[in-house]
Amino acid sequence: MRRAAVLGAERAAAAAPLLRAQLWGTAGHPMATIPPPQGLLRPLAVPQRLLLGPGPSNVPPRILAAGGQQLLGHMHPEMLQVMDEIKAGIQYAFQTRNRLTLAVSGTGHCAMEAALLNLLERGDTVLVAINGIWGQRAADIAGRLGAEVRELLKPPGEYFTLRDIQEGLARHKPSVLFITHGESSTGVLQPLEGLGELCHRHSCLLLVDAVASLGGAPILMDQQEIDVLYSGSQKVLSAPPGSAPISFSERAREKMLRRKTKPPSFYLDMGCLANYWGCDDKPRMYHHTAPINSFLSLREGLAMLAEMGLESSWDRHRANCTLLCQGLRELGLELFVKEEAARLPTITTVRVPEGYAWQEITAFLMKEHGLEIAGGLGPSVGKVLRIGLMGYNSTKDNVDRVLGALRDALQRCRRSRL
């Protein structure tokens, strides 16, 4: 056996120069055998579109320009200064003085995971309010973390009352309640008044998803006693997706400090991120390479919100949503959320009209009008169309454009035989 192995090795050694010549050719280095992809050899083509779905929104020139700047190093003092400005911008947008306030390097889901995996430990009980897809996703993530997940359910299109929550807290005794402020899959705005206080009376932390609502509807983190709040960059902030604001109250920070085990993600460990963002008393250290250009864009998105003022932004979103709802009714469409106050000012849902296929309507708007609206998501699939008017896109002109395009679609889309 050993003799055969030696012979094999000898033969392989003798064949090596031949093989090498075949692979290397005459160029003095190996030859790549997989050719460059044809698609990459053509110029990049990005069509112009009006993005009036549930996000992303169109990015204004000022924010595009910020993201197109030359790079800085992620630890350069100018970059750390930008991060400090982002932090102050988030504190303003969230209306909080929480020191542990930063942007995670990722989209809204990344912030959702960061919130849950830092707050929860295996065996902790979390109560998840589910009236659309975001509660479902949070329950999924919490389950993966080994938490005891309890669900509080409402049909899509409805919100939770204080009584619903109170019963859930008394029954399940969770250490964290997850709830979505702007349910973008159904178009519901969840009232938050009194919720923080209620949770704290039950020794529970309040975790709120405001990805689709921040800047479009009032949310006051400190006054409303919210313990963890997160959002995204590509909705009202009108920046590209890829960075997500998040903030933790002192109560939430204390729970994290009491952890018996490390958070199961290094990338999203809030202790490490807090240091990188200058939220502790230690010198700032490299944790990961920040997505520099995403942060430059986010800084500008937050700056534009600060210049406009939160109240004006809330008013503008509510006013344009009201105009849109009026116009949709005049077209004979039925709003999915019955109660006006419960309508999310950023994303409006209408029932798919009888006799139409929603895919035909969305495809027609895209093809004929270069305009995006979306169908439902999760539990609202097939039931609704979703129209987003967020940040830079929340204008009267866009209300007119989407209503005009929908009028056209209703006249010209083939009636479905379904």
Residues that bind ligand PMP (CB under 6 A): 54-55, 107-109, 112, 134, 180, 182, 184, 209, 211-212, 232, 241
| Dist. CA 163–CA 86, nearest whole Å | 37
- Number of neighbours of residue 229 by Cβ within 10 angstroms: 31
- Nearest approach in angstroms of CB 377 to ligand PMP is 8
Q: Measured from the CB atom, is 182 or 215 closer to ligand PMP?
A: 182
Token representation of residue 284: 């700032």
- Nearest approach in angstroms of CB 70 to ligand PMP is 26
Residues sharing a CB contact under 8 Å with residue 331, sequence separation 6 or more, in sequence order: 403, 406, 407, 410
- Nearest approach in angstroms of CB 111 to ligand PMP is 8
Residue 180, helix vs strand vs coil: strand
- Nearest approach in angstroms of CB 141 to ligand PMP is 11
Q: Measured from the CB atom, is 108 or 263 closer to ligand PMP?
A: 108
Q: Measured from the CB atom, is 184 or 247 closer to ligand PMP?
A: 184
- Nearest approach in angstroms of CB 328 to ligand PMP is 20
CA angle 262, 243, 137 (to 5 degrees): 65
Residue 217, helix vs strand vs coil: strand
- Nearest approach in angstroms of CB 7 to ligand PMP is 59
Q: How far are the Cα atoms of 159, 333, 346 from residue 164, in angstroms, in the given order?
A: 10, 31, 25
Where are the extended beta strands (E) located within 216-346? 228-230, 244-248
| Dist. CA 349–CA 376, nearest whole Å | 8
- Nearest approach in angstroms of CB 344 to ligand PMP is 9
| Dist. CA 271–CA 291, nearest whole Å | 19
Burial class (CB in 10 A: 0-12, 13-18, 19+), 83: buried
Q: Up-side HSE of residue 160: CA atoms within 13 Å toward CB?
A: 30
